[in-house]
Structure 1
Amino acid sequence: MPLDQTGIARFAERHLMPDRVKITRGSGEDMLDPETGDLIPAPPLLVYADRAGLYAHQERIRGKGSHDGAWVEEVRPGYRMLMPLCAPEVQEDDSVLVEEARDEQAVGRTYRVAALGEVSSFPVLRTVWLEERNRKAAS
């Protein structure tokens, strides 16, 4: 009996994606401000605004970092964002804003998409890797 992908996907959405995010993409183009006649950055394009789940992930990087040629290991914080399969594809440098979250300290934080979303032969959700941009203290 084959596995039911849709059942697994529904389970993942219900239990692994409790937060709400907004993903935007800058066009990199300027537009004319009719009031001032100045060129200003175009407003970002809304890519996605719905459910997601954010999970911390530590990345270990090893490289030559000292003057004597010794290998240095660095641990960098990263984040993995889970989204439903129906979510549109995100691109590197898209911005992610956490609008609602179970963890109140996550609300208002922004992230940069660090890599294209992962693909799979048995897709049940989308996985996207993020880097934190800023952290606003809760008020």
Structure 2
Amino acid sequence: MLDPTVMARFAERHLMPDRVRVARDGSDDLLDPDTGRLVPAPDRVVHEGQAGLYGQQERIRSRGGRGTAWVEEVRPAYRVLFPLSAPEFRGGDTVTVLEARDEHAVGRTYRVSAPDEVSSVPVLRTVRVEEHNRKRSS
């Protein structure tokens, strides 16, 4: 059997060419001492580093309504590969692409849509995300 640590190093070297930041909503409001008002807490960065962004297509099949035929929809979906050293991510965490081989990806943001996938032989962390913002950084 292959050594998982060797496979993990291979995955990090060849499948994760991008750099991302993952932030979590600060949730509770904070008191601004200058104004005396409650202001939203800043997002907390939970990971910044190496990753790989990969697009795919999801086929969704649903009924259009009572008595109607099934409707099949194809929509874009994305997954992000992280090293195993990355923390566990939560739904709603925001992934921002800081550097990427594909310059069109830089500045885009994605929301974590599902908990991390797990595996019997873990070599990387896979997270499903939905595109949130296509704005490019300047």
TM-score bracket for the superposition, by shorter chain length: over 0.9
CA deviation digits over 1:42-91, x for unaligned, max 9?
A: 01111000000000011110001257511111111110100001111101
Return the alpha-carbon distance in structure 2 between the equivalents of residues 35 and 20 of structure 1. Answer: 36
Between 27-36 and 92-101, report the one with greater CA deviation: 27-36
Between 68-77 and 78-87, report the one with greater CA deviation: 68-77
Q: Residue 112 of structure 1 corresponds to which residue in structure 2? A: 111
Stretches of 4+ aligned residues off by more than 6 angstroms: none
Are positions 1:95 and 2:121 aligned together? Answer: no
Q: Residue 45 of structure 1 corresponds to which residue in structure 2? A: 44
- 1:1-139 equivalences under 5 Å are 2-65=1-64, 69-137=68-136
Return the alpha-carbon distance in structure 2 between the equivalents of residues 63 and 81 of structure 1. Answer: 26
Asked if the contact 1:66–1:72 (Cα under 8 Å) also holds between the matched residues in 2, the reply is no
Secondary structure of 1:10's counterpart equals: helix
Return the alpha-carbon distance in structure 2 between the equivalents of residues 98 and 34 of structure 1. Answer: 33
Return the alpha-carbon distance in structure 1 between the equivalents of residues 33 and 117 of structure 2. Answer: 42
Secondary structure of 1:90's counterpart equals: coil
> Any gaps of 5 or more consecutive residues in structure 1?
none
Deviation at 1:27, TM superposition (A): 2.8
Deviation at 1:136, TM superposition (A): 1.1
The count of corresponding residues between Structure 1 and Structure 2 is 138
Asked if the contact 2:18–2:52 (Cα under 8 Å) also holds between the matched residues in 1, the reply is yes
CA deviation digits over 1:85-118, x for unaligned, max 9?
A: 1111101100000000000000000000000010
Asked if the contact 2:105–2:136 (Cα under 8 Å) also holds between the matched residues in 1, the reply is no
Asked if the contact 1:105–1:138 (Cα under 8 Å) also holds between the matched residues in 2, the reply is no
TM-score by length of 1: 0.94
Secondary structure of 1:11's counterpart equals: helix
Return the alpha-carbon distance in structure 1 between the equivalents of residues 73 and 16 of structure 2. Answer: 30
